[in-house]
């Protein structure tokens, strides 16, 4: 049976992607996002210390769902699941990652771009297919994909500005994946108040897209 995206992701419509110089910087940002209502958070493996820090962050995250992204190898997927990851995200189609996710009964969001890749990702058991890099194609591409793939859930990622969110949601995406446009300079001493404001803007933009 295919895993489905979590209620947290489908309800809020925002997946925050955190890529920091070191995992020790995650705590305040995760807390601010969760308090702001962005409660589906991806911690990337390109950040040193992500797996080691994951259990502590999950314990402190309250209702937030925390997963691991940039997962490319099966052993990385298993380590993330063992540490408590609620979901996995990969930058492309990695069968070993999908197999580990299925064995661990957690949703996986593999990256894809072309129709052939989207089909392959879905056949591997994706809970949703991460359309990456999304800015390369734009929201109209989702509408074109829905013709031959009406059952495929999509999650665009890469270069989506906050004011572009409504168009992606209105096109049929279950949520949007946001990195830099949401996080800004939060990992470089930036204002957490400003981060909270951006998070609230993102959630409001999702609501506008769903109402369109």
Positions marked catalytic: 42, 130
Number of C-beta neighbours around residue 91 at 10 A: 18
**C-alpha 5 chain-centroid distance:** 10
CA distance 130 to 2: 16
Q: How many CA atoms lie within 13 A of 192 on its CB side?
A: 12
Residue 82 makes CB contacts below 8 A (sequence gap 6+) with none
With vertex at residue 79, the alpha carbon angle to CA 124 and CA 50, rounded to the nearest 5 degrees, is: 110
DSSP designation for 151: T
Inter-residue contact 30 to 194 (CB < 8 Å): no
């Amino acid at each position: 049976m295919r895993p489905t995206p979590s209620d947290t992701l489908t309800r809020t419509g925002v997946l925050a992607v955190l890529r920091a110089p070191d995992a020790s910087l995650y705590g305040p940002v995760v807390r601010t996002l969760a308090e702001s209502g962005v409660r589906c958070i991806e911690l990337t493996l390109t950040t040193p210390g992500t797996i080691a820090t994951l259990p502590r962050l999950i314990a402190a995250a309250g209702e937030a769902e925390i997963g691991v992204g940039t997962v490319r190898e099966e052993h990385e997927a298993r380590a993330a699941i063992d540490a408590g990851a609620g979901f996995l995200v990969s930058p492309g189609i990695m069968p070993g990652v999908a197999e580990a996710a299925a064995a661990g009964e957690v949703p996986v969001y593999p990256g894809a771009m072309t129709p052939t890749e989207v089909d392959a990702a879905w056949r591997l058991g994706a809970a949703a297919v991460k359309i990456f890099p999304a800015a390369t194609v734009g929201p109209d591409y989702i509408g074109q994909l829905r013709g031959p793939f009406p059952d495929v859930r999509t999650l665009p990622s890469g270069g989506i500005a906050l004011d572009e969110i409504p168009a992606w949601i209105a096109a049929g995406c279950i949520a949007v994946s946001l990195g830099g446009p949401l996080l800004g300079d939060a990992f470089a001493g930036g204002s957490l108040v400003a981060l909270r404001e951006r998070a609230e803007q993102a959630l409001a933009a999702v609501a506008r897209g769903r109402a369109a």
